[in-house]
Structure 1
Amino acid sequence: MPVRLDDIMSLLCHMSEQQKMKAAVKHSAKGALVAGAGAFLGGLVGGPPGLAVGGAMGGLVAAWMTSGQFKPIPQILMELPPVQQKDLCDRVFAIVRNLDWTDATHLITLVSSNAILQQNVAALLINFVTQELRAEIQYGD
């Protein structure tokens, strides 16, 4: 059976919606750069006290810039380049290859009714998002 990309992507989107998964790509390097720049500019303008104030202000700006960057996993999955989508689907297909499904709804039903399959697919998805996309996962609203 060939890999049916749309069916597997629907399964992954459904599972991540059920768990209310969101992800954010880590922006720690950007935040550190902004905080450091604030400290540097504050030090140039105000000496040692300016360094402290600039560092604090830079840290606040960095925190503000990187907050609220979480997006729903289904949205992230659908925005992946086709090569990454295929890679992810190939990995999932290795788990569900023994199932005989007719469409995405049938695949979702088959996986949802089997706790082991559901755990394996969820673990693969979590691993892909955290390792390949280098994203932080958040659950719930």
Structure 2
Amino acid sequence: MPINLDDMMQLLCRVSEMRGMRAALMHSGRGALAAFMGAFCGGLMGGPPGIAVGSAVGGLLGYRLSSGQFKPVPQIILELTPREKKKLYDEAFAIIRNLEWTDAAQVTALVMGNAGLQTKLLGVMTNFLTNELRAEIQYGQ
């Protein structure tokens, strides 16, 4: 029996919240833009020495922008695009496909009572976050 997308996202949120899963999304595009803008503005204002100073300042700012802050995974899951949610759903549904349930509450109870299923779903989320979103993962509080 299929589980709807929103119920699956809620299940994944519960599992990740129970394990204290957090992720930091890397924003390399913003970092590169800051480094470029620093060099460009420095060059306009100070010529060749300004390029050097602007590059250094822009590079440090770019580093700061590209290193993500850790956020709870449930928050990240709820902010995913519909396409990303569907991809995560498909990968997670493959884990619970063979379970017998009648509604979302029952499948949630089955998963929350089975450490093996939780570990498999955590693996799916970890792979999705690291491969699709280039996130760094942390567990625990």
Q: Structures share a fold, TM > 0.5?
A: yes
**Matching of residue 94 in structure 1 with residue 94 in structure 2:** yes
* Secondary structure class of the residue paired with 1:23: strand
Q: How many residues align?
A: 141
**Matching of residue 85 in structure 1 with residue 81 in structure 2:** no
* Equivalence map 1:27-38=2 (5 Å): 27-38=27-38
* Secondary structure class of the residue paired with 2:7: helix
CA deviation vs aligned residue, 1:22-66 (integer Å, no higher than 9, x gap): 334321122122113212332343344433321222123324444
Give me the TM-score of the superposition, normalised by structure 2.
0.77
| Cα distance, 1:94 vs structure 2 | 1.5
**Matching of residue 2 in structure 1 with residue 6 in structure 2:** no
CA deviation vs aligned residue, 1:82-113 (integer Å, no higher than 9, x gap): 34323322221211122223444432332233
Match of residue 121 from structure 2: 121
* 8 Å CA contact 1:95, 1:121 repeated in 2: yes
* 8 Å CA contact 2:27, 2:68 repeated in 1: no
For structure 1, which segment, 101-110 or 1-10, has the greater mean C-alpha deviation from structure 2 after superposition? 101-110
Query: 1:35 is aligned with what amino acid?
Result: A
* Equivalence map 1:25-64=2 (5 Å): 25-64=25-64
| Cα distance, 1:13 vs structure 2 | 0.2
| Cα distance, 1:140 vs structure 2 | 4.5
In structure 2, relative to structure 1, the CA distance for the partners of 1:84 and 1:64 (3 Å cut) is: closer
Q: Distance in 2 between matches of 1:32 and 1:25?
A: 15
Q: Please, what is the CA RMSD of the aligned residues? A: 2.6
* 8 Å CA contact 1:43, 1:54 repeated in 2: yes
Q: Distance in 1 between matches of 2:40 and 2:84?
A: 39
Give me the TM-score of the superposition, normalised by structure 1.
0.77
Q: Distance in 1 between matches of 2:32 and 2:67?
A: 14
Match of residue 14 from structure 1: 14
> Identity of paired residues, percent?
57
* 8 Å CA contact 1:10, 1:104 repeated in 2: no
